[in-house]
Each structure stands twice: as C-alpha cells, then as structure tokens.
C-alpha cells in the first residue's frame, strides 16, 4: 500500500504535514534517517506508517512510559497490534509478551533504553523479523542534550543485532551539535536528515511582567477565551490555581503525576471535549496529547529551559489559528529559578551520600540489590536522615537519569488482603451486604490464593474491574475488615525505586561523575538562556527562540510582546488606549485593576498610558490609589 492510503485508512487524513512524506519515503528506501520536527509536527507517523507497510515488527525506543502507553493504546484502537514493555512487568509476563512479538504478527514493540539492556530482551529481539528501529526523543543520546540518559548510548546494541535494518531518530528540539552527536552515536551510514523550521507563525510569544500573577491570569483568560493550559511548578499549585479559577467562574481541571489513572483519564477527556476550558498542570501534562484548538498556553512560573518551553508553548495553535504563549514573570522569579535549578544541584559528594543512605534505608548489603524494587516514601526518607528535600530529590533524579536507579513516581495503594472466613460464611455475609457483592467477586476472580495467604492486590486494577471510585473501594474494603471478613494492610506511597546496579557505594557513582558535571554545566547554560529570553525586550521573541536552536535569517513575527511594542502603529495604539482610559474615567474614579478589566490591553501598556496621561495633566492619582480626571 502507498503511504497516503495508510494515512487515510488509519488516521483519516488525506494529506501529510510538511516533511512527513519525504521522511517516510526515506525510511521505506532503507535509509538511516534523522527527523527534527518541532512539537506538533507529527513525528510518530513518520515511523509508524513505513513500519505498517513493511513486513515485520518495528522496535521503538522511548524514555517516556506515559507516551509509550498512549501510543500503544492509540495503535490498538486503530486495530494495529502493539506492545509496550513497561516497568513493573513480571518475568513471566515479559517472557509471554516477547513471544507474542515473535509469533503473534505484532507491528510495534515499544521499550525503554533500560529494558533493552536485559539479556532476555536482546535474545528475543534477535529472533524477531525487525523491519525498522525507531528512536524517539533522540536528544537523550547526546551528553549535551536536554534530559540525557546514558542508557540511550547502548541503543547501538539493536544495530549490532540487526545490522541490515535501517534506523530513524526523531526529536523535537536539538541544536546542530546535538544532531551530529545523535547521528554518530547511532552509527548512521549516509544519513538523510530532515529539519523542519522552528517557526510557529501563528503563536504570539509574550513575556508579561506583573506583580499580581493571579489577577493577570484572570485578565488573560478573559481576553483570550478558549481551550487553555496553565503550567505550574508543583502539584500543590495545580490545585490552588484550579480552585482560584473555579471561584472566579472559570471552568477548569487540574492534572499532575499524583492523581489516579482514572482521574487523569476523566479530566483529560473533559478538557479534550471542551467540558473544561482550562487545564492547570505540571509539565507532566501534554506529552503525546493532541488537541488542535488550544488557544492559550500560560507559564505561571519560569520554564527550566528553552527546550522545554518551546515544546510546551507549541501545544498551542496546532490548528493553525492565532494562539498565545505567555510567561508570567515577577521580579523574584529569577531568584526562584536559580534556587530551584542551580542552587539545588547536588555535588558528586552529596550524590554519593544519598546513594549510600538509600541502600541503608532499604537494608541492601554491599554487592547486592540489583533489580530489586522497593516502595519508597520520600518524605519519610528525608525525615529519617534529616535531608533537605529539594537537593535530595534532584540527587535521586540524577541517579535515575544515569541508570543507577529507576525512580517511578505514581500514586498507588499497595494493598495486602486475605479472606478470613469460609466460602459458606462469605456468601451468607454477602446475602445481607449486597452492595459489596461486585468488589468481593472481583477480588476472588482476580486473585486465586486470597483465601489461603496474604495476597498483594493491585487496587487500581480492582477499582477498574469493579467500576467503583477509589473512595468507594477503600470504604468497602474497610467495612469488610471491620466485619472480620478480610485482613487488610494498606500503605499509601507515591514512589517506587528499582536498583539497577549492585551496591558498590562510591564505585557505583565514580563512572558517572564526569557526566553529572556536564549535566550541571548544561543546566547552568539552560537557566541563563531562559533569563536572557525573558529580559530581552529589544529582539523579537520568536527570533530569540529560533536563534537559540540555530535557525537564522527569520523575520520579526509582528505578534510577540516585543514586536507589538515596536510596531509602527504603537503611537496610534497608545492614543486609542489613552482615549479608552479617559472615556472609562468619565463616569467614576477607577483603579488600575478595574481599568485593566475594562480595557483590552496588557498591564505594561496600561501603566505606560497612565504615566503619559499623568505627565500631560489629563488625570491624577487620588488618595484612594485610583485614577481621576483633571
């Protein structure tokens, strides 16, 4: 079949986006291919369509479990057979899934670079008829790339196992030097390179300086109605800002890594369908989520890098219509960015200390612990050793990124249950407690030995099968325990740690110390680039972003906060704004906040016009801090 026929059959599109067809043709011709497509450019189609056309299975290496699951689910919904080897999978399940890939006519096998290191995975891949190797988020290969992961360096294993299979590497953000590093590490032969422009001509990039972010947020959402994403720094802020917006009459939801899978699905569906206008989220939200009509993306806090900002901002305006990407900035934000991402960078000495404490915490002996998994209470860990949370968390992230541990952050109830009554006693009990029938049946059918011994129960799975809310399921389990029907042990944890290497203390950390120092240097460069971006009010914001990614020769966008101030019509705009202010003050004295609510302009533009009107003695400030006509 021709690529366009596959696109029409499975994706219901009649034409490709820019460069997609050229990339697909290159892959079908057996070329090693590099694709640099900005966020929203449709990268996954570039390897999925040729893999569907070619006989055999495509190996997709991706660092993001959530994105893997999302793509596998999407492919399954289209009737295309796909598997993801995610963390937490038992050896027996892994064995079965790999056999399915060999004998079950599957088209896609998604796995992490860490999973690729397992001998069983390598052995089975050798038996597969592989038609393509796809490396997603390929910038992770380069030590100077954003989110470098050493395990990515070993993807060349696939090329050794299947030397005649071509490879495609894909990323959304990478500088020229990083592109060269990726091509070298993947051992590309005569690569075909495709780079889409980073220009997003329909996005108005803006930096808004304000002393009152919540008010400014409300103002922006009123003058730019439509689907919106508000990115915040932490989980608590998602809920706080959601509550604030709801109190102000906006329709919003909040999303972060700590809510249950059901809550994630429900809230995402509500936002996608337009039932909720605004999604307040951490940066965990958005990857792989395709909603074309997002009107506004607002960063309530400064982004940690221009790479992440470009990707997150690029979730606006994918339908080609005018959209806003706005950063809200206070004077103290620069200090916060430094303290969160630079001051809290752990030294090698501190990382060694945390690694030892972690092993002691789980009582892992020297030389042991490899591939052991443990439930992890981060707050309790910090409390036990009197550790500062911010720098300790960053140390754990670095250990994760450098494949010493695997840190899985999720919300899950680790539950142990055993039935204490007999079969007859249980059914007599259920006759008088009909509301517990479904939950009990799900437990009995899912866990065979639950009468004989304490059984680990996946509560999320039980909740889904019983079609109960989390609150209902926990309440019913507690009733069963109270009535002596079951024994119940429930521990709430938001993290899980797997030790990927045996404990060797300093000897485990020494090999990665050079890489960590390079990552620290990169983080300093990224933070300084963000600060340069928000401070530079003379160069077009779009041009600043393009130059950062090595794209030169672009014209001013005429949409961003800098271009609007430089626009040749600025004097006319200021004159119209002054007229609007004078007209509003004819009936009553007003504060700057009230004027901003009444007039469609930015806070900076308003204060500039107010200053000019005061200077020419058209208005004055009253004792009540309002403005009045002279």
CA distance 230 to 238: 9
* pLDDT the model gives residue 143: 66
Q: What is the pLDDT of residue 99?
A: 92
Task: Kindly tell me if the per-residue pLDDT of 561 is higher than 70.
Answer: yes
* Residue 252 near residue 267, CB atoms below 8 Å: no
Helices (H), 198-257: 213-223, 235-247
pLDDT (average), residues 14-22: 90
Q: 568-629 — its CATH code?
A: 1.10.10.10
pLDDT of residue 146: 63
Paired residues of 130 in beta bridges: 57
Q: What is the pLDDT of residues 44-69, one digit of tens each?
A: 999 999 999 999 999 999 887 777 88
Q: Tell me: the pLDDT tens digits for 92-137?
A: 888 899 999 999 889 999 998 888 888 899 999 999 999 999 999 8
How far is the C-alpha of 609 from the C-alpha of 602, rounded, in Å?
11
Residues linked to residue 135 through DSSP beta bridges, in sequence order = 61, 169
Of 75-79, 317-321, 374-378, 495-499, highest mean pLDDT: 75-79
**Does the pLDDT value for residue 572 go beyond 60?**
no
CB 253 within 8 A of CB 276: yes
Q: Identify the pLDDT of residue 206.
A: 92
**How confident is the model over 596-625, as a mean pLDDT?**
82
Nearest CA among 317, 337, 297 for reference residue 524: 337
Q: Look at domain 3-195 and name its CATH class.
A: alpha beta
CATH of segment(s) 203-330: 3.40.50.300
pLDDT digits (tens, 9 = 90+) for 375-406: 888 888 999 999 998 899 989 988 988 889 98
Q: Which of 166, 188, 155, 142 is nearest to 62 (CA)?
A: 155
Specify the pLDDT at position 414.
Answer: 62
Q: Which helix (H) or strand (E) holds 518?
A: helix 513-535
DSSP assignment, residue 145? S
Region 132-147 average pLDDT = 82
**pLDDT mean over 208-232:** 90
Q: What token pair was written down for 507?
A: 């000897």
Task: Check if the beta carbon of residue 629 is closer than 8 Å to that of residue 582.
Answer: yes
pLDDT band at 27 (very low <50, low <70, confident <90, very high): very high
Cα gap 15→17, rounded to integer Å: 7
User: How far lies 262's CA from each of 116, 258, 474, in Å?
Assistant: 30, 12, 15
Return d(Cα 597, Cα 580) in angstroms, integer. 12
Q: Could you report the per-residue pLDDT of 290-317, keeping only the tens digit for each?
A: 788 999 999 999 998 898 899 899 899 9
Which tokens in the block code for residue 435? 């509301």
Q: What are the φ/ψ torsions at residue 260 (nearest 5 degrees)?
A: -70, 160
> Is 373's pLDDT higher than 90?
no
Output phi, psi for 372, to 5 deg.
-85, 140
pLDDT average, residue stretch 313-336: 90
pLDDT score recorded for residue 298 = 97
pLDDT value at position 232?
A: 95
**Residue 23: per-residue pLDDT:** 95
Of the chain, the percentage scoring pLDDT greater than 70 comes to: 95
Rounded-to-integer distance, Cα 556 and Cα 559, Å: 8
Question: Residue 288 pLDDT more than 80?
Answer: no
Q: How far apart are CA 170 and CA 115, in angstroms?
A: 19
Confidence band of 493 (pLDDT split at 50, 70, 90): low
Q: How much of the chain is helix, strand and coil, in % rounded to 5?
A: 50, 15, 35
Pairwise pLDDT comparison (190 vs 265), residue with the higher score: 190
Burial call 32-52: b when 16+ CB within 10 Å, e when fewer: bbbbbbbbbbbbbbbbbbbbb
Cα–Cα distance measured from residue 369 to residue 227, given in angstroms and rounded to the nearest whole number = 47
Give the model's pLDDT for residue 440.
93
Question: Model confidence at 254, in pLDDT bands (50, 70, 90)?
Answer: very high
The pLDDT of residue 496 is above 70:
yes
Count Cα neighbours of 233 within 13 Å in the Cβ-side half-sphere. Answer: 13
What does pTM read for this prediction?
0.71
Model confidence at 287, in pLDDT bands (50, 70, 90)? low
From 214-228, 411-425, 504-518, the region with the lowest mean pLDDT:
411-425
Instruction: Return all residues near 189 (Cβ < 8 A) that are at least 6 apart.
Output: 32
Tell whether the model's pLDDT for residue 196 goes beyond 90: no
Instruction: Report the alpha-carbon distance of residue 307 to residue 318 in Å, rounded.
Output: 18
What pLDDT was estimated at residue 408? 73
What pLDDT was estimated at residue 491? 62
- 587's tokens: 């009936």
For residue 298, the 8-state DSSP code is: E
18-36 average pLDDT score: 94
- Element containing residue 512 per DSSP (H, E): none
Backbone angles phi, psi at 520, to 5 degrees: -65, -45
| pLDDT confidence of residue 244 | 95
Cβ–Cβ < 8 Å for 590, 574? no
Question: pLDDT: is 345 or 145 the higher one?
Answer: 345
For residues 570-586, give the mean pLDDT: 70
Asked if residues 496 and 371 have their Cβ atoms less than 8 Å apart, the reply is no
H/E stretch holding 613? helix 603-615
pLDDT confidence of residue 87: 64
- Angle made by CA atoms 441, 444, 447, in degrees to the nearest 5: 140
Question: Higher confidence at residue 549 or residue 150?
Answer: 549
Residues 6 or more apart whose CB falls under 8 angstroms from that of 328 comprise 208, 210, 213, 216, 217, 298, 299, 300, 301
What is the mean predicted confidence (pLDDT) over 575-599? 81
Q: Does position 492 have pLDDT exceeding 70, yes or no?
A: no
Question: Strand 33-36 vs strand 167-171: parallel, antiparallel, or unpaired?
Answer: parallel
What's the token pair of residue 385?
């050793």
Instruction: Please report where in the chains the tokens 């899934």 appear, as a residue.
Output: 97
What is the reported pLDDT for 88? 62
Q: How much is the pLDDT for 329? A: 92
> Given a cut of 60, is residue 570 above it in pLDDT?
no
């Amino acid at each position: 079949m021709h690529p366009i026929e596959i696109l029409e059959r499975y994706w219901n599109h009649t034409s490709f986006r820019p460069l997609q067809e050229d990339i697909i043709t290159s892959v079908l011709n057996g070329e090693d291919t590099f694709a640099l497509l900005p966020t929203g450019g449709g990268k996954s189609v570039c390897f999925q369509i040729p893999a569907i056309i070619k006989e055999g299975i495509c190996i997709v290496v991706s660092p993001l479990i959530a994105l893997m699951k999302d793509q596998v689910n999407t492919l399954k919904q289209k009737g295309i057979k796909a598997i993801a080897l995610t963390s937490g999978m038992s050896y027996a399940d892994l064995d079965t899934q790999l056999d399915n890939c060999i004998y079950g006519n599957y088209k896609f096998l998604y796995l992490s670079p860490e999973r690729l290191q397992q001998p069983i995975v390598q052995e089975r891949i050798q038996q597969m008829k592989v038609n393509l190797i796809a490396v997603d988020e390929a910038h992770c290969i380069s030590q100077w790339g954003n989110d470098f992961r050493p395990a990515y360096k070993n993807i060349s294993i696939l090329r050794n196992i299947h030397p005649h299979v071509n490879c495609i590497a894909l990323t959304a953000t990478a500088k020229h030097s990083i592109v060269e590093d990726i091509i070298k590490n993947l051992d590309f032969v005569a690569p075909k390179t495709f780079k889409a422009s980073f220009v997003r001509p329909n996005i108005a990039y803006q930096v808004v300086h304000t002393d009152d972010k919540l008010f400014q947020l409300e103002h922006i959402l009123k003058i730019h109605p439509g689907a919106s994403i508000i990115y915040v720094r932490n989980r608590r802020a998602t809920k706080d800002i959601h509550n604030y917006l709801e109190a102000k009459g906006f329709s919003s939801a909040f999303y972060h890594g700590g809510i249950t899978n059901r809550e994630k699905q429900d809230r995402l569906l509500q936002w996608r369908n337009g039932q909720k206008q605004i999604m307040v989220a951490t940066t965990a939200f958005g990857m792989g989520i395709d909603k074309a009509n997002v009107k506004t993306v607002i960063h309530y806090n400064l982004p940690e890098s221009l790479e992440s900002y470009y990707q997150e901002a690029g979730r606006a305006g994918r339908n080609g219509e005018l959209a806003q990407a706005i950063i809200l900035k206070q004077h103290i934000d620069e200090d916060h960015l430094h303290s969160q991402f630079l001051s809290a960078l752990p030294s090698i000495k501190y990382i060694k200390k945390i690694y030892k404490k972690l092993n002691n915490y789980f009582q892992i002996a020297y030389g042991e612990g490899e591939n052991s998994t443990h439930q992890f209470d981060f707050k309790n860990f910090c409390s036990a050793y009197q550790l500062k949370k911010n720098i300790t968390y960053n140390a754990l992230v670095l250990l994760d990124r450098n494949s010493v541990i695997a840190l899985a952050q999720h919300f899950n109830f680790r539950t142990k249950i055993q039935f204490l009554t007999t079969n007859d006693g249980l059914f007599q009990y259920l006759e008088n407690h009909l509301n517990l029938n479904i939950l009990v049946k799900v437990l009995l059918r899912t866990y065979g030995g639950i009468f004989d011994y304490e059984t680990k129960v996946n509560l999320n799975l039980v909740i889904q099968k019983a079609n109960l809310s989390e609150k209902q399921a926990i309440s019913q389990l507690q009733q069963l325990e109270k009535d002596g029907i079951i024994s119940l042990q429930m521990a709430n944890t938001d993290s899980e740690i797997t030790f990927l290497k045996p404990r060797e203390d300093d000897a485990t950390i020494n090999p990665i110390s050079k890489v960590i120092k390079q990552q620290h240097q990169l983080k300093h460069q990224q933070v300084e680039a963000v600060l340069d971006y928000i401070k530079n009010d003379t160069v077009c914001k779009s041009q600043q972003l393009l130059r950062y990614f090595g794209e030169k020769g672009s014209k001013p966008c005429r949409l961003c906060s800098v271009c609007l101030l430089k626009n040749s019509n600025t004097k006319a705009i200021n004159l119209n704004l002054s007229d609007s202010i004078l007209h509003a003050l004819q009936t009553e004295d007003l504060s700057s906040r009230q004027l901003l609510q009444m007039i469609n302009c930015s806070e900076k533009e308003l204060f500039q016009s107010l200053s000019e009107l005061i200077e020419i003695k058209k208005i004055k400030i009253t004792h009540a801090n309002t403005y009045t006509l002279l």
